[in-house]
Structure 1
Amino acid sequence: MAPVDVTSPRSGAQGGAGIVGSGVGEGPGPDVMAASSLDDTKVITSDGEDVGKISEIMLDVRSGRVAYAVLSSGGFLGIGDTLHAIPWNALTLDTDEKCFRVDIAAERIKDDPGFDKDHWPAMADTTWGSSLHEYYNRKPYWSTADYISRKGGDL
């Protein structure tokens, strides 16, 4: 696969994560990747701080879309971690630095109370999901006409 010359973030038509960098790597990436290959990828904020690592990528099974990524921060060896849901479309995969970038200051992520491994949020709760997307200044992935029409709803 030839390197991809990317001068600005590109994202999928369905509101996916953006991609920046040369695109050189192992396997078929960066446009199609195994979710497990993104586990433990560090997340860098707009102010350059490493705020943790991706621990899970959550799928909306009914729509077949990635709902959000789970950022694990703090703690030690997985104990006492705080988990944060980050909308998938709020992330940009940086293939050169091998990290995700998020366009939000570290303090905003630290101020978010997050959740723990025993109390996961439900993206199916559109109130919670909408407030999450609003926090990251992103449009919810389910608000597109394609998704709504397949669900039988109206715009």
Structure 2
Amino acid sequence: MTRTLELLPLAGTGFGLADDQDDVRGMTVLDVRDHRVGEVEEILLDADERRARMLVVASGGVLGLGDHHRLVPVDAVSGVRAHVRLERSDLHVESGFDYDPDLPGPVDYRAVYNYFGYTPFWEDGYREPYFLDRRG
């Protein structure tokens, strides 16, 4: 059975995150090799638990023009300090899934989780990540 769900952008929804520390918008994203991937532009959350589920990472472009926006599950975050560190390479993110909030219809988040190699948060066996491990 395929489950269609909607994740909401944190900005402008009126929802807050269950833990305010999970708000990493504006932070630089580095990959597993310390290469700059981009910046967290938005956080997508599930309204039921008010938990961050996807990061929208902006990269490329100048002054916001020509930016690429990619979806990255929070499960791919290995830690947060002065930046967000991922368990994947910049190339993995760059060849991943585009995010465009203006496109109609539901996004297939299962495909995003599968691409990154994680169990979707709505399935049995999902292990809740603590992506704000401040030791990383």
* Among candidates 109, 124, 130, match of residue 93 of structure 2: 109
- % identical equivalent positions: 23
2:117 corresponds in structure 1 to 137
Q: Which runs of 5+ in 1 are unaligned?
A: 1-30, 147-155
TM-score, normalising length from structure 2? 0.67
2:45·2:51 contact (CA, 8 Å) conserved in 1?
yes
Letter in 1 for 2:95: D
1:81·1:116 contact (CA, 8 Å) conserved in 2?
no
Letter in 1 for 2:41: S
* Among candidates 16, 22, 28, match of residue 42 of structure 1: 28
- What CA distance in whole angstroms lies between the structure 2 residues aligned with 1:103 and 1:82? 20
Larger RCO, structures 1/2 (Cα 8 Å, 6+ apart) = 2
Deviations 1:8-41 (A, max 9, x none): xxxxxxxxxxxxxxxxxxxxxxx75162xx2211
Q: How many residues are treated as equivalent by the alignment?
A: 108
TM-score, normalising length from structure 1? 0.60
Q: Which runs of 5+ in 2 are unaligned?
A: 1-18, 127-136
1:23 corresponds in structure 2 to none
Task: Give the root-mean-square deviation of aligned CA atoms.
Answer: 2.5
Deviations 1:50-79 (A, max 9, x none): 010000111111343222111001111111
